[in-house]
């Protein structure tokens, strides 16, 4: 089966902020890469009508995906209607089975807004039910039987909803592809409407780069990095299935695991 990596996030430009560098490196490593935003960007403006901004943000996302050779998948719903509910789950599950990734790149389970967190919940369930013949998808798609490894990116701002810094399990050195990642984000020109006009798009790009520098600070010798936490393998693959770590070994920097009490779960 062809090696596939699926970057899936809530809104147009979310992929670019926290996971595009890793996606680009996976494409260079021979993966067929896929790109999807569950939300269509309908609230991504302070001035334009809904239908107009949806089409603009769709075009921007398509351009960003095309710039790195990623296969684009259409959004499924409006912003702020991304809920963990059966109909949306059935639709996303159909896409998950169609793509059949061995690497699934998702946002952090702890993030500053509910759309991000709900997208993660939907995606991990869609992946979990990928091989369940009695789980109906919309449109119906045959179940797939293959392992998948799920990796969670850093939350936007590198912090959870309470302001705590999220420490990744490992970092991916994206210094060699930071220009491509920056170009992907620059495709989202409509976001200039959200920025102070004295700052403009450059500030938007510098924010993304600054977050990458902050993650790179965990390891010496890195300039830009993306941080990742690997989801528990149960229900998805064998414990030793680590395709991202294997494929991007030259770019990987492991971080020491923080110690936990040996009797933490003892009653």
In this prediction, residue 226 carries a pLDDT of 98
- Residue 30 CA to residue 218 CA, distance in Å, equals 28
Q: pLDDT by residue (tens digit) across 158-200?
A: 999 999 999 999 999 999 999 999 999 999 988 765 555 545 6
All residue ranges of the chain with pLDDT < 50 are 198, 259-267
User: What are 50-55's contacts with CB under 8 Å, separation 24+?
Assistant: 50/78, 53/190, 54/78
In this prediction, residue 200 carries a pLDDT of 62
CB 122 within 8 A of CB 107: no
Q: Closest by alpha carbon to 180, among 77, 74, 67, 45? A: 67
Q: How many CB atoms lie within 10 A of CB 191?
A: 19
Helices 178-186 + 200-216 axis angle, to 10? 140
In this prediction, residue 265 carries a pLDDT of 29
In this prediction, residue 199 carries a pLDDT of 56
């Amino acid at each position: 089966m062809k090696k596939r990596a699926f970057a899936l996030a809530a809104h147009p430009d979310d992929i670019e902020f926290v996971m595009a560098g890793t996606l680009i490196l996976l494409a260079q490593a021979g993966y067929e890469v896929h790109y999807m935003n569950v939300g269509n960007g309908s609230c991504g403006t302070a001035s334009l009508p809904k239908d107009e901004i949806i089409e603009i943000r769709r075009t921007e996302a398509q351009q960003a995906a095309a710039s790195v050779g990623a296969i684009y998948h259409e959004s499924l719903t409006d912003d702020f209607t991304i809920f963990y509910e059966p109909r949306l789950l059935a639709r996303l599950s159909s896409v998950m089975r169609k793509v059949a990734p061995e690497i699934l790149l998702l946002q952090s389970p702890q993030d500053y807004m509910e759309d991000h967190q709900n997208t993660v919940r939907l995606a991990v369930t869609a992946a979990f039910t990928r091989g369940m013949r009695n789980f109906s998808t919309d449109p119906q798609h045959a179940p797939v039987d293959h392992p998948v490894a799920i990796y969670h990116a850093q939350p936007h701002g590198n912090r959870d909803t309470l302001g705590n810094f999220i420490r990744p399990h490992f970092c991916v050195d994206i210094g060699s592809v930071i220009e491509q990642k920056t170009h992907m984000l620059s495709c989202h020109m409509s976001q200039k409407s959200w920025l102070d006009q004295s700052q403009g798009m450059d500030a938007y790009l510098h924010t993304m780069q600054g977050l990458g520098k902050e993650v790179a600070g965990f390891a010496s010798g890195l300039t830009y990095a993306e941080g990742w936490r690997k989801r528990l393998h149960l229900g998805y693959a064998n414990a030793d299935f680590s395709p991202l770590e294997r494929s991007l070994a030259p770019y990987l920097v492991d971080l020491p695991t923080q110690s936990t009490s040996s009797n933490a779960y003892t009653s």
